[in-house]
A and B are shown apart, each in its own frame.
Chain A
Amino acid sequence: MIKIKNLHAEIDGTEILKGLNLTIGNGEVHAIMGPNGAGKSTLSYVLSGRDGYEVTDGTATLDGENILDMSPDERAAAGLFLAFQYPVEIPGVQMTTFLKTALNAVRKARGEDELDAIGLLKLMKGTCKKLGISDHMMKRAVNVGFSGGEKKRNEVLQMAMLEPKFAVLDETDSGLDIDALKIVADGVNALRAQDRSFLVITHYQRLLDYIKPDKVHVLAKGQIVKSGGPELALELEEKGYAEFAQEEAA
């Protein structure tokens, strides 16, 4: 269970998140929608501990543990995963090296046995197969030369291997055609589980046709301004965010 209470955060002294509250139960999928610049990516970075995002008030706990005090890698070990809106290219670092290092760091921190090269390869191949991802991506450097769709699939693959308790997907649909979107959504759906919750950040309702949320929230002006069921997404699709933008202007 993830509990975010009264979260305030700033970038360069400008407050972006202004008292955000959100609770996601185990196994639940919540969606956050909102206009551009609302603070959606900021929320994902604050949760994952990126430098330059300063939390000035509030708490965020994952199964009772305050993650805001942890370094980004400790948060990953504690079970947080962020699928990036723009996955980063890392020239010269091979996917297999990257995955092995990440997985073993997390396993070590969780008190599990580390995997050898063969164990990792098996796990990787199995996971790729399960998610319908071609494993030729594994022979390349991290995200280098990957198409937009491949980058997002790579995020899902990493998520599957790291087995988080709580995954944040930041605009995973951006830049994807419908086929790529389906593959990614199928991957996410395959990972839905009793002990895993998701926060799906998106600007468009489209993604939510494939990843069915339990709840939908609207983020505007750094706060959750409206919450509802899946029907809220349809409503937003019809009306747009004008209502919230107007509030902002007022």
Chain B
Amino acid sequence: MSAIAKFQPRYRNDNAALALKEQAVLQPSSAEWVNALRLRAVASLNETGLPTQKLERWKYTNLPAKLKKMDLTYKDADITLSGMTDYAYSFPKGFSGFPSFAQEMIEQTPPSNEKYGDMMLWQAGNAYLKDGFIVDVPADTKRNSKAVKALEVTYTGHDGAQTSVRQIIRVAENAEFTLIEYQLGAGSYWNNVVTQIELGQGATFKHYRFQENSDAAVITQNTHVMMAGNAEYEAFTITTGANLSRNQVHVDINGEHSVARLNGVNMLDGKELADTTITVEHHAPHCRSFQNYRTVVDEIATSVFQGKIHVHKPAQKTDGYQMAKSLLLSGQATVNTKPELEIYADDVKCSHGATTGRLDDDALFYMQSRGIPEAQARNLLIEAFVNEVVEEVTHDDVKEQATHIISQWLHNLSSDDGEEAQWLE
């Protein structure tokens, strides 16, 4: 196991200004802890700047370069909560009467900061702490029907806006909950989201993300999941938009017999870049974690997948699985995949794999010889490729929506054929 050098803030980074230039517009909160947190975050960001490609986990994604080209002004986030809103509420004005559990969560040190020293976006989230909501699901809240009604949260990005959001989710003992996030928008905007999820003993949380951002947008997700024993976390993220998206997830499995599934589909074209960076830390024995991603990259798009399974010494009998498959539809598309295992327990079962390939010519010809036109044959193959992961979604509605988004993407792919590629300019 190679030692990973600790991050040392050797240089002052003027790109902090990209994130902070408007931080001062925030009104001081009536809650002192909020003001203090913001100030600490501003100081931290001023010292470190935004993540540059010198950092291990940002090697393939140049966020400051992208933000430099955007002209953004800090705005209130446009958030809509719908569906199962029973346990959800927006942050109260000025944080008055803010629940202490949520405050404690917000005041935690960002996950993996010590190891990588690259949690600047989390700090940016702290610096702008204002917009957000809390989901607090009491113990034993269960649904009996399979069609569980989900809480839906829709983020609408507006041209020129920089927004910052905090999602605080607590699912208590033996409770079940489902959250579906939609990221939409028009024009050029940046939405930085910090999500903290705490799952109690025996809790089940299904967490779905549809990222259909505009193709000029930047979306940065910073998610931390903390799981007690016998808990289940099921995540599925589908990204079909955004010029740059960073989906960073850190899972700490702290109790025995828990299961975490982190799945996703990326369908990228034009100049899009989608970066998925996952760390699953097994701290307790008898737990299972799965990371399963399918990525389709066309034109000059770029995909980044960095997945890590970290098994700590006490986490015997861990079952860890990671598979990232990519399909290149163009000669100029790029796929960067970095699977990693770090294992300190001796009785574990961990596997990881990554493949990058092109469509199977033999299969294409076989289908064409049966009368299926080339574009349609290609779409069938792509659909089959991504369905390997879509099929694992246990929420029927979400599965259907994902299937629809995929076929829409493929439809656009077909209608783009023969047209002059816009991304060449």
Contact = CB atoms under 8 A, between A and B. Distances in A.
Decide if A and B are genuine partners.
Answer: yes
B91 interface: no
A90 B363 contact: yes
B372 A101 contact: yes
Interface in B365-388: 365-374, 376-377, 380-381, 383-385, 387-388
B361 interface: yes
B419 interface: no
A158 B369 CA distance: 11
B416 to A, nearest CB: 19
Contact of B366 (A71, A81, A88): A88
A93 B381 contact: yes
Contacts of B104: none
B294 to A, nearest CB: 11
A190 interface: no
- Which one of B367, B370, B380 has the greatest number of beta carbons of chain A within 10 Å? B370
B367 to A, nearest CB: 7
B362 interface: yes
B326 to A, nearest CB: 16
Contacts of B366: 84, 87-88, 90, 142
B388 A76 contact: no
Contact of B374 (A71, A89, A93, A158): A71
A90 B367 contact: yes
Contact of A92 (B376, B377, B385): B385
Nearest to A90: B363
Interface in A161-192: 162
Contact of A102 (B363, B371, B384, B388): B371
Given A76-B369, A84-B366, A105 B374 contact: no
Interface residues of A, number: 32
B387 A92 contact: yes
A49 B367 CA distance: 12
Contacts of A72: 365, 368-369
Contacts of B369: 48-50, 72-73, 75-76, 81-82, 84
A73 B372 contact: yes
A93 B387 CA distance: 10
B388 A73 contact: no
A71 B368 contact: yes
Interface of A: 48-51, 71-73, 75-77, 81-82, 84, 87-93, 97-98, 101-103, 105-106, 109, 141-142, 158, 162
Q: What are the 6 tightest A-B residue pairs by CB atom distance, in nearest-first order?
A: A92-B384, A76-B371, A106-B371, A72-B368, A102-B370, A88-B366
28 contacts: A48-B369, A49-B368, A49-B369, A50-B369, A71-B373, A72-B368, A73-B368, A73-B377, A76-B368, A76-B369, A76-B371, A82-B369, A84-B369, A87-B366, A88-B360, A88-B362, A90-B363, A90-B366, A90-B367, A90-B384, A93-B380, A97-B380, A101-B372, A105-B376, A106-B370, A109-B371, A158-B370, A162-B371
